Amino acid sequence: MSLVKSTATIGIYTLLSRVLGFIRDITIASSIGASYLSDAFFVAFRLPNYLRRLFAEGAFNAAFVPQFEGILAHDGKDNARHFSSEVMSFLVFILLIITGIFILLMPWLMIGFAPGFMDDPKKFDLTVVLTRITMPYIIFISLVSLLGGILNTGGKFAAVAATPIIMNLCLIIIPYFISDYTPTYAHALAIAVMVSGIAQWLWLVRFCKRQGMLPRLTRPRLTPQVKKLLKMIAPAALGAGVVQLNLVMDTIIATWFGSGVSYIYYADRISELPLAVIGIAVGTALLPMLSRQIREGKREESFKSQNHAMELSLFLSLPAAVALFTIAEPIISVMYERGEFSSADTIATFHTLMAFAVGLPAFVLVKILAPSFYANQDTKTPFKIASICIVVNFTFNIILMFPLQYVGMALATSIASWLNVILMARTLKARGWLMIEDQLFAQIAKMLLSCALMALVLWIVSPYLMPYMARNADSFGRFAALIILACVGGAVYLLLSFAMNILQSRTAVIKRFRKL
């Protein structure tokens, strides 16, 4: 499957998931706003997600996909399935122990994880309870990462990309039916998170079984292949751990500011839409492709894949970042401002979104550059680079938190992400693993000019549509006005892009990707 087709498949499902995610967040914002309930739930939701990213998703896929793909290509389907069974058994064993320890020690762990909540015993106790409910989620969602790696290696991207849709449906539907029977709406959300993990796992079990690649649970053993995987995972896990420690630090600091956790969550959810649709989609499709090209000695083709991936991701992420920065206020107002979410919450959240928008292209590029290390079976270098970036992020957190509070934390994350991109690109280029074409720099300059003109148009047009996006306006009319504003910006950018011949032509671009 070509890079553009794989990216489109993942991107479409991810976009659908994000639309449902927005509906989910709108429901949450309307029901509990930016309050002690939302702060408690978001912390309870983030902790198992941190652990998932640390022990499974990023580090696991970085090491598992190249090794699994190699076994599948050289030793056949049966050996690959046997390898995945060994890995799954060991993964489940470790995660059961970790989950049990966290559930037992949660009150003490929460002192370090959310120290700002200690001044509010009601919020602190609620956070402990909700986190205990959500913790089993890490077991099932980690299995989802394993099965997803198997399916992605076989080019079956659609089933994996659809799993977040299941989670969002669970968080929308389940609380609606059970919230009357739980102490608070936040309790219903926590239960829905746990159930969603089971549902996503069962969904991928079906597809792996259909492909004849469903791993079986066996006695966990440290076989030579599992040891090799762990050796590759270790530096990647440390790298992921550095990144997750960065996010943990952000959460810890945010707990000291009233509703800071909620403001960062709501803004981050908006900025994650282009990141997921563009960066994660392209990066997911790029890793198995680069692994195959490098294994076959097709280094020139790998360079082309990298350049085309960067060109595509920047073509989409740069206008998204500029739009999020320019019209952050109407976006947050229309998306969240209703029910318990006040106009003051909108002001706090849209400033945070602007800070995240500054780093959006960097967030995307990190997802594009990281597979280049993993495809070369180098998981140590991203860890070293991430270690530097977390120090920078923490330093700017401390510097900016006093004048800007939670907005400063978002800005620090953007600064550290741009540093991450620079260090990754320079390292890849120095090792001969990346060769950036001169044409790419010329295209970026044209993209930036198109974005600047698009921003000017958005700045001129948005005041005329603001009355239709106000809190007291009709809900349908608010969304319609925001969509019109977004379409105006998108149309201007596309017209300027084709006028400047940014991607030569649609036909040429599609042909280039199909050759990959």
pLDDT in tens, 288-310: 666 677 666 667 777 777 777 78
Highest mean pLDDT among 151-155, 274-278, 477-481: 477-481
pLDDT of residue 193: 94
Residue 13 lies in a domain: no
Is 211 inside any structural domain?
yes
Is 329 part of any domain?
no
Ranges 211-215, 228-232, 236-240: which has the least confidence? 236-240
pLDDT higher than threshold 60 for residue 353: yes
Question: What does the block give as tokens for 73?
Answer: 């290509």
411 vs 72, which has greater pLDDT? 411
Q: Is the pLDDT of residue 80 over 90?
A: no
- With tokens 């997750």, the residue in question is 244
For residues 494 and 223, which has the higher predicted lDDT (pLDDT)? 494
| Amino acid letter for position 515 | K
Q: Which of 216, 218, 262 is nearest to 29 (CA)?
A: 262
pLDDT of residue 506: 40
User: CA of 168: how far to CAs of 54, 84, 130, 188, 266, in Å?
Assistant: 22, 28, 18, 14, 15
- Could you tell me which residues come within 8 angstroms of residue 162 by beta carbon, excluding any fewer than 6 positions away? 13, 16, 17, 203
Q: Is 224 domain-assigned?
A: yes
If DSSP codes are grouped into helix, strand and coil, which group holds residue 357?
helix
Taking all residues of the chain, what is their mean pLDDT, rounded to a whole number?
Answer: 82
- Interior/surface letters 442-474, b for 16+ CB within 10 angstroms, e for the rest: ebbebbeebbeebbebbeebbeebbebbeeebe
Cα separation, 5 vs 132, in Å, equals 40
Whether residue 374 lies inside any domain: the answer is no
Helices (H), 179-280: 185-210, 224-254, 260-274
Instruction: Supply 240's token pair.
Output: 């992921």
pLDDT(439) > 60: yes
Query: For 56, which DSSP code?
Result: I
More confident residue, 108 or 226: 108
pLDDT above 50 for 509: no
27 assigned to some structural domain: no
Ranking 196-210, 249-263, 314-328, 472-486 by mean pLDDT, the lowest is: 249-263
Angle, CA of 63, 245 and 380, to the nearest 5°: 35
End-to-end CA distance of the chain: 8
> Residue 306 in contact with residue 375, Cβ under 8 Å?
no
pLDDT of residue 191: 96
Number of domains present in the structure of the chain: 1
Residue 65 resides in a domain: yes
Q: Amino acid identity of 472?
A: N
pLDDT digits (tens, 9 = 90+) for 453-484: 999 999 999 999 988 888 877 878 898 999 99
Kindly tell me if the per-residue pLDDT of 149 is higher than 90. no
Selected residue with higher pLDDT from 56 and 359: 359
Is the residue at 485 inside a domain?
no
**Structural domain range at position 165:** 36-241
Question: In this predicted structure, what is the pLDDT of residue 242?
Answer: 56
More confident residue, 452 or 276: 452
Instruction: With a cut of 70, say whether residue 1 has pLDDT above it.
Output: no
Q: What is the pLDDT averaged over residues 55-73?
A: 70
| Sign of torsion over alpha carbons 376, 381, 386, 392 | negative
What does DSSP assign to residue 154? T
Output the pTM of the full model.
Answer: 0.71
Q: Is the pLDDT of residue 431 over 80?
A: yes
